[in-house]
Amino acid sequence: NSKPKIVILGAGYAGMMTTKKLMKRLQPEEAEIVLINKHNYHYQTTWLHEVAAGTINHNQARIMIRDIINPNRVRLIYDAVVEVKREEQLVVLENSEIKYDYLVMALGFETNTFGIKGMDENAFFIQDIDSCQLIREHIEYQFAQYKNSEQKDDHSLTILVGGGGFTGVEFIGELAERVPQLCRKYDIDRNIPKIINVEASPSILPGFDEELVAYAKKSLQERGVELKQGTKIQSCTKEGFIVGEGHELIKAGTIVWTGGVTGNSVLGKSGFDLTKGKVTVNSDLRAPGEENIFVLGDCAWVMNEAENRPYPPTAQAAMQHATTCANNIRALLHHEPLQKFVFSDKGTVASLGVTDAMGTILDGTKLYGKPAAAMKKVVDNRYLFLLGGLHLFLKKGKVRPF
């Protein structure tokens, strides 16, 4: 087989969309396309906080790759990537290896605990479907255990969330919905379980618009969430977080860390130069010095030249990277000039629970409450539509049309 081989690593937002676009832009005889992913399903990373809280079933957040990508057109390999040997143009997988002519690194993020003592050992992470199912089960177990124990420890029902960024806030918003449900299910007084968020910065959602942050705080606090802002986590033990100068212990039965992410560790293992765990890509999204390797999504450090800082890692950006990358691979195959990546900001909406949200859209218009929550669902459903058309939207969409 003399066709050039394009190997895409990771079937997240960036990897799935790159594969779909390449299927459209290239004729089958022009190149062989291979998609490699750890699991046989793609999942909605942006819904993981809901899976972890238990407000949606994990199956709603995952989609079989074969349902979206025709395996007769794209070779699908379900295996974990261990490293890339660039000099040999070789990807080493857990169970085999594969050569490439063009490579797309789209392996997403990994949780970063910034070396906080005890965090890796004692906290749960919102990382993937499996880790989020574990959080959901653990929380429910605490409620069932509490109900069945004679000597009740109220702290066992406290859920402690480290980090008040986007993920942390979306997660506590879901917990504020879930905890009352669990109280009803296990017949437990709603005043006993606590949801506590700990953030080192003076306020949750650093970098967000002040009015939006104020709205989020009010919504969360009114639903019983305790926000400990300007509070540094010194370490994490089995019992909870040790915080602040006074080394106070906040006890909890469930500890979740959402305070940091970095690029996939495969990048480092493969010898790429890293900026905070990511590859600083060229404007065409290729890794520096590499003719045939693209790095996308949460693995890429993409500079916003106008503001002289990197764009935040988002699904929105990952999907836009995919379009530029597919166009550029086609350009390379056709010996045409490559495109520069230009980010087009469509706004950001953070959910605060099932019916509450806040954020900005397109021209910066601010949205709050139910309209924002509806917009969030439109964004989610739009992605399903782009990925798998009406069929996927009807199967996994968030608004039941009938």
The CA distances from residue 352 to 119, 147, 187, 216, 302, in Å, are: 25, 28, 25, 7, 28
What is the bridge-based pairing of β-strands 62-64 and 41-43?
antiparallel
Shortest distance, position 52 Cβ to ligand FAD, whole Å:
8
Residues 52, 171: contact at Cβ < 8 Å?
Answer: yes
**Which CB, 188 or 256, lies closer to ligand FAD?**
256
- The Cα-based distances of 46 to 163, 193, 348, 372, 387 in angstroms read 17, 26, 12, 16, 15
Q: Which is nearer to ligand FAD, 315 or 384 (CB)?
A: 315
**Residue 19 vs 142, nearer CB to ligand FAD:** 19
Task: Tell me the per-residue interface mask from 19 to 58 with ligand FAD, x by CB under 6 A, - otherwise.
Answer: -----------------xxxx--x--xx-xx---------
> Which amino acid is residue 360, in one-letter code?
T
Among 167, 231, 262, 270, binds ligand FAD (CB under 6 A): 167
Shortest approach of ligand FAD to residue 312 CB, angstroms?
8
Q: Which of 200, 315 has the CB closer to ligand FAD?
A: 315
Considering the rule CB under 6 A, would residue 266 count as an interface residue with ligand FAD? yes
Give backbone dihedrals phi and psi of 196, rounded to 5 degrees, phi first.
-125, 130
Considering only 28, 57, 59, 80, the residue that binds ligand FAD (CB under 6 A) is: 80
Q: Contact with ligand FAD (CB under 6 A): which of 34, 53, 65, 81?
A: 81
Residue 342, judged by CB atoms within 10 A of its CB (0-12, 13-18, 19+), counts as exposed
Considering beta carbons, is residue 160 or 372 the nearer one to ligand FAD?
372
- In the complex with ligand FAD, the residue whose CB is nearer, 242 or 329, is 329
- Give the interface segment with ligand FAD, choosing from 100-108, 199-207, 286-294, 364-372 (CB under 6 A): 100-108
Q: Which member of 7, 8, 11, 22 binds ligand FAD (CB under 6 A)?
A: 11
Query: Per DSSP, what are the bridge partners of residue 345?
Result: none
Residue 211, exposed/middle/buried by CB under 10 A (0-12, 13-18, 19+)?
exposed
Q: 86 and 293 in contact (C-beta within 8 Å)?
A: yes
Residue 170 appears among annotated catalytic residues? yes
59, 65, 62, 2: which is closest to 36 by C-alpha?
A: 65
* Site size with ligand FAD, rule: CB under 6 A: 34
Q: Which segment (6-14, 187-195, 227-235, 245-253) binds ligand FAD by CB under 6 A?
A: 6-14
Query: What's the CA gap between 51 and 37, in Å, rounded?
Result: 20
Q: Are 128 and 43 in contact (CB under 8 A)?
A: yes
| Residue 163 in the binding site for ligand FAD (CB under 6 A) | no
Determine the residue with CB nearest ligand FAD.
Answer: 12
The DSSP annotation for 134-187 comes to: HHHHHHHHHHHHHHH-SS--GGGG-EEEE--SHHHHHHHHHHHHHHHHHHHHHT
- What's the CA gap between 359 and 375, in Å, rounded? 9
Question: Does residue 270 bind ligand FAD (CB under 6 A)?
Answer: no
Kindly tell me the number of DSSP H helices and DSSP E strands found in the chain.
10, 27
Please identify, among the stretches 7-15, 135-143, 183-191, 203-211, the one whose residues bind ligand FAD according to the rule CB under 6 A. Answer: 7-15
Nearer to ligand FAD, 127 or 142 (CB): 127
Judged by CB under 6 A, the stretch of 10-18, 56-64, 249-257, 388-396 that binds ligand FAD is 10-18
In the complex, minimum distance from the CB of residue 93 to ligand FAD, in angstroms, rounded to a whole number: 8
- Active-site hit among 32, 170, 174, 199: 170
Of the candidates 126, 112, 122, the one whose C-alpha atom is nearest the C-alpha of residue 49 is 126
Site string for ligand FAD, 102-131 (x = CB under 6 A): ----xxxx----------------x-x---
Tokens linked to 238? 């089995």
Map the footprint of ligand FAD across residues 292-351, applying CB under 6 A.
297-298, 313-316, 318
**Interaction site with ligand FAD (CB under 6 A):** 10-15, 36-39, 42, 45-46, 48-49, 80-81, 106-109, 126, 128, 167, 170, 264, 266, 297-298, 313-316, 318
Which residues are catalytically annotated? Answer: 170
